[in-house]
Amino acid sequence: MANDVYLQVAVDVPLRETFTYCCERPLPTGTRVAVPFGPRRACGIVTGPSAPGGLDPARIRPVLEIFDELPPLPVSFLEMVAFAAAYYHHPYGQTLFTALPTALRQPGNVRLPDRRHWWLTPAGRETPPPAAHRARRAVWQALADEACTLAALRPLAPQASAILKAWLAEGRVASGEPAALSFREGPVLALNGEQQTVLQALAGALAQGFSAWLLHGITGSGKTEVYLQLMARVLAAGQQVLVLIPEINLTPQLIERFAARFPDTPLVTLHSGLSDGERLAGWVDGWQGRAGIVIGTRLAVFTPLPRLGLIVVDEEHDTSFKQQEGLRYHARDLAVWRAHQAAVPVVLGSATPSLESLANVEAGRYRRLRLTQRAHGAARLPEVQLIDMRRKKRTEGLAEESVEALRTAQRAGQMSLVFINRRGYAPVLACTDCGWTSGCPHCSSKLVIHLPERRLRCHHCGWDAPVPGSCPDCGNVDIRPLGEGTQRLEAALTAMLPEARLLRIDRDTTRRKDDWDQLYQRIQAEEVDVLVGTQMLAKGHDFGSLGLVVVLNADSGLYSADFRATERLFALLNQVAGRAGRADTPGRVLIQTQWPDHPLYQALCRHDFDGYARTLAEERQAARFPPYCSQALLRADAPDLKDAMAFLDRLREALEPLAEGIEIVGPAPALMTRLAGRERAQLSFESCSRQRLQHFLSEAVPQVEAAARRASRSLRWSLDVDPQET
Ligand SMILES: Nc1ncnc2c1ncn2[C@@H]1O[C@H](COP(=O)(O)OP(=O)(O)OP(=O)(O)O)[C@@H](O)[C@H]1O
Ligand SMILES: [Zn+2]
C-alpha cells in the first residue's frame, strides 16, 4: 500500500497520546472514522497528519471506515477540546469524546434529522387527491397551507414518506432547505432605569470583541428580561446565542419564555435528559447554524456554533456547572474561555455571585453591572426574621411561631413554603447550650463525625480525634450532630394544619418527566396552601403569590467541613427568600436557627450580600483558600482506606521535589470516606499562582500515572482542577 498516508487519530481511551493509522487518501482534521483498536472496532477522530516515525509501517493498521454524513468537526471545537484537556490534565481522546454527543461516539453512521421542507408544485396544487383518500388528502391539505417537514406530516399520515416519494416522482411536490425566517420579537417589557443602563452597557459591547460581564442583580430584578432584550440584538444581526443554565432551572416555563419572545427563531435545548437522537439533532442544528438559540446545561458549552455572537451564563454561582466525574470541567469557566476564542461578550448573571467571579471583578478581568431593585413595580424584598431555637419547644423540628405563621398565612389565603435544607449535609458536632462546634485545631475546617468509629476527622489536613463525651468549652453533655429530624415533617404538618392543602416537592415526587409540570399547574391554579420541599423549590420558579417561607435545617450548612459551605448556604437562602413577595404581596421569611447571631443570618436579614461576601473573601484570603489560591485535588480510592492513603503518601514524597511554590496538603480521608464499597482519600495541591500550579500538574501527572501502574489494580485515582467540593 505504497500510496497510503498516515493520520493521527484520537480514541476514547484513558491514554494521553493519539494513535497513528493509515488511509488510502488524506483526511481532513476533524473527520470521524472507525479504526481497529486492539481487538475491537473503535470510533476515532482525525487530529492531523502523521509520520510513521519509529513505527514499522507494516504494523500500522488502516482506517476501517470514514463517516461523512457530517462535515469534519470544526477547528474551533477541537481547539476548545485541546484547551480543556490541557487545563484539566485529562486525556485528550477522553476529553474529545466527552465533548461530543453520545451518538457521535459510536463507530457507526448516525441518522441525522431530516430538516428538508416539502411544498406543492403548481401541478400538485391543481390536483387535490379525492377526499376519500384520507391520508393523502391530509398531507395535501397541510402542504397547501405551508411548506412542512416530514416530521410535521407523519402525525397526519404514518405513510407520509411513501406519499411524498410517489408525488416527487410525479412532479407534484418539491423539497429543499427551509427559507431563512426573518427575525421577529414578541412583546417586550419597558425596562426600568437600572435595566436600561445595564442593557446599554452590554449592547455597546456587542460586535466589539471579547468582554466578560458580571450581571449582579437581586432576585426578581429583571435579569432575564435584560438577557432577552440583549439577545434580540444579536439574533437580529443573524448571530447565535448560547445560554447556559443550572440543571434545575431548565423548566418548560423557562424555555417557553425564550421561545415566546423569539417566535421565528429556531431554539434547541441540550441537557443530559435527552435521548441520544434528540441530543444529536440539537447539537447538529447548532453546529450547522440552523438554531439561533441554544439553551442548555453544562454540557451545552461544547456545542459548535459557527455564528456565535453572545454567551449568557445564568446563576453563574451554581454548582451544577462543574462536572464531578470524568472530565471535571467548569462550564462557566469554559464559557468565558470560549467567548474569548470567539471574540464575543459573555454575561455571567447572579443574585449571589461566586467569590471566584467577584475576585475576577476585583482583578479587572470581569466588569460588574448591578440591578439593585425588583423589576416588578409593587414587589419588595421580603422581611427576613430569625427564630431562636435554643431551648425552644418544637414539634418535628417546627417552632410554635412557625406553625402560627403558617396558620395566619393560610387564613389570609396566602401560599407558604416550608423549605428543608439538605444541601452539604455532613454531620458536624455542636453543643446545644453554648454553640461550640467541632473545629480542627490545625486548619480552618470543621471536624466531621464518623459514627461507626466514633472519631472526629478533618477532611482537609487529616487530623483525627475521638468524639468527646461533653462540650470542651462548657462541659454540657448534650452535644449532637447538627441538622436532624425533618423526616416526618410532612405528616406533622398535616396534623398541625388539618385544613391546609399540602404539596410536597422533592426528588421523589418529581421523578418522572411531567411530574413537575403537573405539580406546577396545581401551584399556578392556587390549589395549594403549603408547599413542602427541598432545594428543588429554591430556584428560578416564579410562584407569584408566595407569602411566607419557613426555613428549617439551615444550620447544617453553617458549620460544614467544606470551606465553600457558607457561601453556598447564603446563595441558597437568598434564593429561597427571593421566592417570597414577588408579585403584589410583601413576603416574610422565617429562619429557624440555633445561631441567630451568626454573621450569615445577620447579613441575610439586612439583604447585605456585599457585606457578607467581603467577610467571606477576607476569611479565604487569610486562610489562603480559593479564590485566593489555585487548588487541585488528587483523589484516590480503594476497597481499603489505608491503600488509598499509602498511594497518596508515596506520591506526596515523590512530588515534593517538583513542588516549588506549591503547597501539598494531606493526604486526608475524603469528606464522604466510604462510597459504594470503596474508601476515598485526597491530596491537595495549592499555589498562589495558577500558572505555577498548572506547570506543576503537567510534571506531576505522568508520575501519578506511573505510580498507578505500579499500584494494585483495585486502586483508582482522579485529578480535579479547581475542585468545587473539597
Ligand atoms: N421592566 C420590567 N417591568 C415590569 N416587570 C418586569 C420588568 N422586568 C422584569 N419584570 C418582571 O419581573 C419578574 C422578575 O423578572 P426576571 O425573571 O427577569 O428577573 P430575574 O432577575 O431574572 O429573576 P430571578 O432572580 O428569579 O432569576 C418577572 O415576572 C418579569 O416579568
Ligand atoms: Zn485540619
* SS3 readout for 21-79: EEECCCCCCCCEEEEEECCEEEEEEEEEECCCCCCCHHHCCECCEEECCCCCCCHHHHH
Clarify whether residues 300 and 156 are in a common domain: no
**CA 28 and chain centroid, separation:** 33
CA–centroid distance, residue 662 to ligand 2 (Å): 18
SS3 content of the chain, % helix, strand, coil (to 5): 35, 25, 40
Q: Residues 634, 721: contact at Cβ < 8 Å?
A: no
**Is 23 assigned a ligand-binding role in the annotation?**
no
Q: Is the CB of 222 under 6 A from ligand 1?
A: yes
Three cell numbers at 504? 410536597
CATH number at residue 49: 3.40.1440
Domain-located, residue 87: no
Helix (H) or strand (E) holding 268: strand 267-270
Clarify whether residues 405 and 341 are in a common domain: no
DSSP state of 143: H
* Residue 427, pLDDT score: 67
Q: How many CB atoms lie within 10 A of CB 660?
A: 9
* Residue 53, pLDDT score: 74
Nearest ligand to the CA atom of 194: 1
Half-sphere exposure of 219 (CA within 13 A, CB side): 26
* Residue 654, pLDDT score: 92
Domain-located, residue 494: yes
CATH number at residue 704: 3.30.70.600
What ipTM goes with this model?
0.96
Q: Is the CB of 542 under 6 A from ligand 1?
A: yes
User: pLDDT tens across 585-598, in order?
Assistant: 678 999 999 899 99
Domain-located, residue 82: no
Last residue of some domain: 553, 584, 617? 617
Clarify whether residues 602 and 714 are in a common domain: no
What is the C-alpha separation between 533 and 541, in angstroms, rounded? 13
Residue 167 burial by CB count (10 A; 0-12/13-18/19+): exposed, middle or buried?
A: buried
Alpha-carbon distances, residue 257 vs 263, 368, 543, 546 (angstroms) = 10, 26, 15, 21
- Mode of pairing for the β-strands spanning 345-350 and 464-466: unpaired
- Name 376's Cβ contacts closer than 8 Å, sequence gap at least 6: 220, 222, 582, 583
Clarify whether residues 322 and 416 are in a common domain: no
CATH number at residue 338: 3.40.50.300
Last residue of some domain: 176, 208, 223? 176
Q: Whose CA is nearest to atom 13 of ligand 1?
A: 220
CA–centroid distance, residue 440 to ligand 2 (Å): 5
Three cell numbers at 702? 505522568
Q: Is the CB of 350 under 6 A from ligand 1?
A: no
Q: Residues 317, 350: contact at Cβ < 8 Å?
A: yes
Query: Among 291, 16, 50, 79, which residue's Cα sits nearest to residue 178?
Result: 291
CA–centroid distance, residue 228 to ligand 1 (Å): 11
User: pLDDT tens across 393-432, in order?
Assistant: 777 778 889 999 999 988 888 889 888 876 544 567 888 7
User: Structurally, how many domains does the chain consist of?
Assistant: 5
E runs forming strands in 379-434: 383-388, 394-395, 398-399, 415-420, 429-431
* Residue 528, pLDDT score: 86
Alpha-carbon distances, residue 164 vs 88, 135, 153, 171, 662 (angstroms) = 50, 11, 10, 10, 67
**Is 474 assigned a ligand-binding role in the annotation?**
yes
Q: Residues 150, 114: contact at Cβ < 8 Å?
A: yes
Domain-located, residue 80: no
φ, ψ at 69 (rounded to 5°): -70, -15
Last residue of some domain: 307, 340, 371? 371
Among 376, 546, 609, the mutation site with the greatest number of ligand 1 atoms within 8 A of its Cβ is: 376
Clarify whether residues 415 and 550 are in a common domain: yes
Domain-located, residue 43: yes
Clarify whether residues 269 and 149 are in a common domain: no
Domain-located, residue 453: no
φ, ψ at 206 (rounded to 5°): -65, 145
Task: State the residue for C-alpha cell 419572545.
Answer: 261
Clarify whether residues 278 and 407 are in a common domain: no
Residues with CB under 5 Å of ion ligand 2 are 440, 442-443, 445, 458, 460-461, 463
Q: Is the CB of 437 under 6 A from ligand 1?
A: no
Among 197, 221, 243, 312, the mutation site with the greatest number of ligand 1 atoms within 8 A of its Cβ is: 221
Q: Residues 410, 500: contact at Cβ < 8 Å?
A: yes
Clarify whether residues 310 and 252 are in a common domain: yes
Domain-located, residue 298: yes
Domain-located, residue 273: yes
Q: Is the CB of 195 under 6 A from ligand 1?
A: yes
* Residue 486, pLDDT score: 44
**Is 461 assigned a ligand-binding role in the annotation?**
yes
Q: Is the CB of 246 under 6 A from ligand 1?
A: no
Q: Is the CB of 191 under 6 A from ligand 1?
A: yes
What is the C-alpha separation between 693 and 717, in angstroms, rounded? 19
Q: Which stretches of the chain score pLDDT less than 50?
A: 424-425, 484-487
**Is 629 assigned a ligand-binding role in the annotation?**
no
DSSP states of 660-706: TT-EEEEEEEEEEEEETTEEEEEEEEEES-HHHHHHHHHHHHHHHHH
CA–centroid distance, residue 546 to ligand 1 (Å): 16
Report the chain's terminal Cα–Cα distance, integer Å.
Answer: 54
Q: Whose CA is nearest to atom 25 of ligand 1?
A: 219
Helix (H) or strand (E) holding 620: helix 609-623
Clarify whether residues 688 and 599 are in a common domain: no
Clarify whether residues 101 and 250 are in a common domain: no
Domain that holds residue 349: 193-371
Clarify whether residues 269 and 334 are in a common domain: yes
Q: Whose CA is nearest to atom 19 of ligand 1?
A: 222
Sheet with 464-466, strands from edge to edge, namely 447-450, 455-458, 464-466
Clarify whether residues 128 and 101 are in a common domain: no
Q: Is the CB of 374 under 6 A from ligand 1?
A: no
**Is 431 assigned a ligand-binding role in the annotation?**
yes
